[in-house]
Amino acid sequence: MFMPQLMKKAEAGEKLAALTCYDASYARILVQAGVDILLVGDSLGMTVQGHDTTLPVSLEQMVYHSAAVRRGAGNAFILVDLPFGSYQQSPGQAFASAAQLLVAGANMVKLEGGAIMVETVEFLVRRGVPVCAHLGLLPQSVNRTGYRAQARDNQAALQLLEDAANLEQAGAELLVLESIPALLASEVTSSLRIPTIGIGAGPQCDGQVLVLNDILGLTEKPPRFAHNFMLGATAIEEAVRRYVTAVKAGEFPAAEHAF
């Protein structure tokens, strides 16, 4: 599947259901359960590798996991994170890294950051690389911000709105909004033409994403915005289907998952 088909769903008002995915077996299950976007997230540094942050994940490891997910996913839409240190130096560095991920099977790459990333987004898009931007809580900037909700004051909220507009203008085709107030996410969503995908950003985004391990109850201390869909389910595919159904019906996230 390519971006135009996802865009059609979003334009028709269908909520997009995304989940992280790190290997071929889970990719098969997620596709069968109707997940629209498989995100090979650098959260694999925590869920798979056991680190405290996403920072130690290498480009080589992201290529390895992307190829594995592609083998299980058939032609499903795969979004892949550019890991820390593989794109921040220059647009040229970002292109060289993104090219490896596309060759491995990614349909689109994701990068974290606002104004500082606008030039890079434009550089990538003009060279045929579809880009998803990521604003709000940026896990690769954890040493600066900690794992805290972001954009909670007026000035930061206005900056986020401006960054979102500039990233869209530069050619980003999706925008992940992480851990920001639901009201702000709603404003960003209605101000853009491209779909927003929320995680801890309230129910008004065009789609939702969660970490697979969180919805399967595998995380020791899951974030407050996640929900364990394995509770009451008898199989992983059933839990994933319940997540997809809840997102599409607008039942997830509920008020208790929002900031």
Q: Which residues are catalytic?
A: 178
Question: Measured between alpha carbons, how far is 114 from 179 in angstroms, rounded to an integer?
Answer: 15
Among 81, 163, 168, 214, binds ligand KIV (CB under 6 A): 81
Question: Six-digit token pair at 193?
Answer: 């033409």
As given in the structure block, the two tokens for residue 140 are: 């690769």
Residue 252 CA to its chain's centroid (Å): 16
Of 158 and 258, CB closest to ligand KIV: 258
Give the nearer residue to ligand KIV in terms of CB position, either 41 or 72.
41
Which of 43, 66, 120, 140: binder of ligand KIV (CB under 6 A)? Answer: 43
Residues in binding contact with ligand KIV, number by CB under 6 A: 10
Q: Does 185 bind ligand KIV (CB under 6 A)?
A: no
To the nearest whole angstrom, how small is the minimum distance from the Cβ of residue 234 to ligand KIV? 26
Q: Quick check: 188 and 175 in contact, CB under 8 A?
A: yes
135 binds ligand KIV (CB under 6 A): no
Give the Cα separation of 87 and 121 in Å (integer): 10
User: By CB under 6 A, is residue 214 in contact with ligand KIV?
Assistant: no
User: Which three-class secondary structure string do you get for 141-174?
Assistant: HHHHHCCCCCCCCHHHHHHHHHHHHHHHHHCCCE
Does residue 164 bind ligand KIV (CB under 6 A)? no
**Residue showing the smallest CB distance to ligand KIV in the complex:** 41
Burial of 116 (0-12, 13-18, 19+ CB in 10 A): exposed
Does residue 136 touch ligand KIV according to CB under 6 A?
Answer: no
The residues that touch ligand KIV, with contacts defined as CB under 6 A, are: 20, 41-43, 81, 176, 178, 199, 209, 211
